[in-house]
A and B are shown apart, each in its own frame.
Chain A
Amino acid sequence: MSADKYEVIIIGGGPSGLAAAYKLAQAGVEVVLVERGDYCGSKNLSGGVFYTRVLDQLIPGFWEEAPVERYITNYVTTLMDKEDYFNLDYKGQALSKPPYNAFSVLRAKFDRWLAEKAEDAGVMLVNEIKVEKVLKEGNKVTGIVAGDEEMLADVVIAADGINSFIAQEAGLRGPIKPEHLAVGAKALIELPREKIEDRFRLTGNEGTAYAMLGEASHGVAGGAFLYTNIDSLSIGVVLRLDDLVKSGAKPAEVLDDLLEHPMVAPLVKDGKMVEYGAHLTAEGGLHMVPQQLVADGFIMVGDAAGFTINSGLVIRGMDLAVGSGIAAAEAIIEAKEKNDFSAASLNSYKRRLDESFVMKDLKTYAKAPIFMENDRLYKSYSKLANDIFGKVYNHDLTPKELLLKTALKALKENNLSIFDLARDGFKGVRAL
């Protein structure tokens, strides 16, 4: 069977694949992007908070035309006990000005828009086709196989997400360790925009993102998030797979309980749940990024390469995806000039990543996953904080004690030592 040949084939139409495709097409490279979904974004659950500065580099002023929801100006960190909670609330005016720091996005809309931009730039988009494997000659990747069709390319980019079996098949990635994976359960709740703006104290298109720890995840390693879209809220829990299995908790129940928690319930009241689902996400940070990111004729980007950061306060993936997509495209453009698509030539991708925020941030937060393996973070500290503040504010006619003494008592009641606290505090400050 004769196989058509293109310069670049990209597997997967998420932010990483689309960013690479857009950049390549702009440079006049012949790109085919194969996406298994009905349209780009169709496989996506709800959305996320997208730290978009890097997208502004690729498509300057994108927010003027992209279907973004709200620019995030308010960040709230919640330490949650069973009924009580303790919030750290930050609002920054600089975050409400162009080029904006982050947007909430609903990916079914957003990815679709990015795909249209890519098509306009000349990308050949193929939907509803599942790539089954890569074609290889020795160690060199030469193309893809879908059904009984083969298609050849100088370079194949794996942008097929966290479960990238393409990367596994190309021999660059082993199976992912359970401690590097988390289950996310998520709901999309519709509310009129005026209600959202009132409840979250927002003006116009401002938005809020919550990171919730402690009881929010039933004490399972992970946490919960809530952020505002234009006329809906995205809320969900992220539960580390190994700890989830150990605890026996069910993600759907954890999410249901969160929705009824006294902090969350008034925020989602009278909302209409329009989407509900679960998805696997990556938690490993730098630890799950493979040693080799390229092979002969092959590059991996985005989640497929394990580019995610969860610092506990901030979950990032889309920005790293776009950053890696751009770096991959630049490496291929350079390789094309030399007409050399070997691993050595494509490895300028690694150098570009190292020089960019992608690897720098992954390295900065490299200790975060280990720090966050600590049980006390999920099981003890939220309760501790709530116990201390409970005692400070509660005047039940028993004699008051000074804050330090109250805190020490609360530590003791929670079976924590001041050494644990100091050690975790120090580690936390270093890791985050």
Chain B
Amino acid sequence: MNVITCYKIVPDDQDIIVRDDRTLGLEKAELEIGQYDLPAIEAGMQVVADAGGKVSALSVGPKLLENSKLKKGVLSRGPADLYLVVDDSLAEADTHQTARTLAAAIQKIGDADLVLCGEGSSDLYAQQVGPQLGELLGMANINAVSKITVEGDKVIVERTLEDEVEVLEVSLPAVISVTTDIVQPRIPSMKEVLSAGKKPVTQWSLADIGLADNPQTMETINTLAPELAERKQIIIEGDSEEAVNELWENLRQELQ
């Protein structure tokens, strides 16, 4: 079984600053592997642990993907090799561009039985790339999967819905987007980090995967933090009856 897990490099959201004009400051934010993509990588490792085969990791994006720490970060979590498509035009890629690039790379890698994605990217969280990728590759395509069991040339997947768990049989090859509760991602050990440095990394340009022409289909006008609600700044101290009444009165007036 050849598994390809896709991941995105994103800024650490804890260190993103919201400026006064509501724009986002990313200068202080370290780059990291998308938090929703780590479970997909681990799920891939579980699949090959059960059914045999190999996990390859794949990412597309600007030059920052080449950072050795980020490359080791992915490979120390288990994948046998890594494929990168690097082009600075992908820095602000929309979901379609990303899906097209991933699809072209997956076709070039060849022989994929199972492609895994996270449920969405942890920066934009459009939840679009997985489904578009399945469509572009012409593979069976399903999202919100919380369990994968391999059975011969099929996989049995579970989707946790509001009141029930949907169990589906999916023929391979397939593109599956997994939820974060599918499996707890590992914390790499010292030896996994050391061996990661020795694993093969293949890097392609857009031309290498035959995608020299990959235009943006959407234009981002702006990315702004939500407007902050004005706080009343009323502080009532103590637990006396008057204080409770005052609190109640304030709440009542607000809700009227």
Contacts and interface: CB of A to CB of B under 8 A. Distances in A.
Q: Please indicate which of the listed interface residues B187, B190, B193, B194 has the most CB atoms of chain A within 10 Å of its own CB.
A: B190
Given A38-B30, A124-B197, A129 B68 contact: no
B125 to A, nearest CB: 23
Nearest to A4: B191
Contacts of A34: 190
Contacts of A116: 68
Interface in A31-86: 32, 34, 38-39
Interface in B184-201: 187-191, 193-194, 197
Contacts of A172: none
Given A38-B30, A39-B69, A127-B69, A147 B189 contact: yes
Given A38-B30, A124-B197, A149 B69 contact: no
Q: Please indicate which of the listed interface residues A39, A119, A128, A147 has the most CB atoms of chain B within 10 Å of its own CB.
A: A128
Interface of B is mostly: helix
A64 B197 CA distance: 28
Contacts of B189: 129, 147, 149
Interface in B143-188: 187-188
B190 A151 contact: yes
A146 interface: yes
Nearest to A147: B189
Given A38-B30, A149-B189, A126 B69 contact: no
Contact of B190 (A39, A119, A126): A126
Interface of A: 4, 32, 34, 38-39, 116, 119, 124-129, 146-147, 149, 151
What 6 pairs across the A-B complex have the smallest Cβ distances?
A: A126-B193, A129-B190, A149-B190, A146-B190, A126-B190, A149-B189
Given A32-B194, A125-B197, 19 more contacts: A4-B191, A4-B194, A34-B190, A39-B30, A39-B69, A124-B197, A125-B68, A126-B190, A126-B194, A127-B69, A128-B187, A128-B188, A128-B193, A129-B190, A129-B193, A146-B190, A149-B189, A151-B190, A151-B191
20 contacts: A32-B194, A39-B69, A116-B68, A119-B68, A125-B69, A125-B197, A126-B190, A126-B193, A127-B69, A127-B193, A128-B187, A128-B193, A129-B189, A129-B190, A129-B193, A146-B190, A149-B189, A149-B190, A149-B191, A151-B190
